[in-house]
């Protein structure tokens, strides 16, 4: 019994040491952001002198060429509609896939699921051309539309799986009372689906916020760049300015971090429900 207890203790200590390994890189980022360069140049883990400051955060926020204040605002302008639109259009279609029957339904559904696997590189060049034709290149609307299309297959898959778990009896009763399909969806199904919609919202918002590739292709004028696009440009020309870069990285990370801290339940549910029924 005593041997078992020591073993358990060992596992607990090992587990906490392991979590230390995982947190140290983030800690390094934080230390580099809040301390002057001369304190961290020989390693941020030296604490001979420790003078925390917020200069780097201000420097990143008001960066002379790529201010992050502007970038974060742009990211929000893109991410909010690029979350709402696909959730709406994909949810109604997901309901259709869960409840209606029509000839090619299964083929269509498999195709849409397959779209989840495709790399963005596969659509990048044609989307660039389409947006140029539509005059939506270098515009938020163009990027919002592409994100909406890109997020739809996953949301559709996720919401359909959720809808199939709902009891069909309520809908049948409403049907007998003369409700139309759209009434049933908006009055009965939607209110019951709020937890699933919350999960989809959290994940889609985080993906759009974190996206780099699509923004890189579609937005190019300096004032329009989203937050993630500004990080590579903050590196400095002749040497890496780690202080500013770390502060900027932390600011961009702050948004997903806060969402995760407050909405963790929905995030994990979305992540797991994506795959396990």
Q: Which is nearer to other proteins, 67 or 171 (CB)?
A: 171
Considering the complex, what minimum distance in angstroms separates the CB of residue 62 from other proteins?
Answer: 20
Q: Which is nearer to other proteins, 28 or 195 (CB)?
A: 28
Q: Which of 211, 193, 209 is nearest to 273 (CA)?
A: 193
Q: Which is nearer to other proteins, 55 or 99 (CB)?
A: 99
Considering the complex, what minimum distance in angstroms separates the CB of residue 130 from other proteins?
Answer: 7
Q: Apex CA 34: angle with CA 50 and CA 47, to 5°?
A: 25
Q: What's the token pair of residue 61?
A: 């926020």
Q: Which is nearer to other proteins, 64 or 119 (CB)?
A: 119
Considering the complex, what minimum distance in angstroms separates the CB of residue 238 from other proteins?
Answer: 15
Considering the complex, what minimum distance in angstroms separates the CB of residue 143 from other proteins?
Answer: 11
| Distance, CA of 139 to CA of 137 (rounded, Å) | 5
Considering the complex, what minimum distance in angstroms separates the CB of residue 54 from other proteins?
Answer: 19
Tell me the torsion sign for CA atoms 147, 148, 149, 151: positive
Q: Which of 207, 202, 243, 242 is nearest to 228 (CA)?
A: 207
Q: What's the token pair of residue 85?
A: 């639109």
> How many CA atoms, within 13 angstroms, populate the side-chain half-sphere of residue 176?
5
Q: Which of 150, 155, 118, 271 is nearest to 215 (CA)?
A: 150
The answer to whether residues 75 and 228 touch, using CB atoms and an 8 Å cutoff, is yes
The answer to whether residues 56 and 33 touch, using CB atoms and an 8 Å cutoff, is yes
- Tell me which DSSP letter residue 223 carries: G
Q: What's the token pair of residue 106?
A: 């299964």
Q: Which is nearer to other proteins, 57 or 267 (CB)?
A: 267
Considering the complex, what minimum distance in angstroms separates the CB of residue 69 from other proteins?
Answer: 17
Q: Which is nearer to other proteins, 113 or 198 (CB)?
A: 113
Considering the complex, what minimum distance in angstroms separates the CB of residue 103 from other proteins?
Answer: 11
Q: Which is nearer to other proteins, 3 or 42 (CB)?
A: 42
| Distance, CA of 61 to CA of 54 (rounded, Å) | 11
């Amino acid at each position: 019994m005593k041997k078992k207890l020591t073993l358990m203790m060992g596992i607990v200590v090992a587990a906490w040491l392991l979590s230390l390994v995982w947190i140290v890189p983030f800690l390094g980022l934080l230390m580099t952001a809040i301390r002057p360069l001369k304190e961290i140049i020989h390693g941020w883990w030296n604490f001979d002198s420790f003078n925390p400051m917020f200069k780097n955060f201000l420097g990143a926020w008001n960066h002379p060429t790529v201010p992050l204040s502007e970038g974060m605002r742009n990211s929000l302008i893109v991410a909010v509609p690029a979350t709402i639109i696909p959730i709406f259009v994909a949810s109604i279609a997901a309901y259709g896939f869960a409840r209606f029957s029509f000839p090619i339904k299964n083929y269509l559904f498999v195709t849409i699921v397959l779209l989840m696997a495709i790399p963005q590189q596969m659509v990048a060049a044609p989307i660039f051309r389409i947006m140029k034709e539509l005059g939506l290149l270098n515009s938020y609307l163009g990027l919002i539309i592409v994100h909406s299309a890109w997020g739809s297959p996953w949301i559709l898959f996720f919401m359909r799986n959720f809808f199939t778990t709902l009891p069909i009896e309520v809908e049948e009763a409403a049907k007998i009372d003369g409700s139309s399909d759209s009434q049933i969806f908006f009055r009965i199904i939607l209110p019951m689906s709020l937890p699933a919609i919350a999960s989809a919202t959290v994940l889609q918002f985080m993906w759009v916020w974190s996206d780099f590739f699509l923004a890189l292709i579609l937005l190019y004028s300096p004032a329009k760049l989203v937050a993630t696009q500004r990080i590579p440009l903050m590196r400095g020309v002749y040497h890496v300015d780690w202080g500013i870069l770390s502060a900027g990285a932390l600011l961009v990370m702050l948004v997903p971090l806060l969402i995760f801290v407050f909405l963790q339940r929905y995030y994990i549910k979305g992540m797991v429900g994506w795959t396990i029924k």
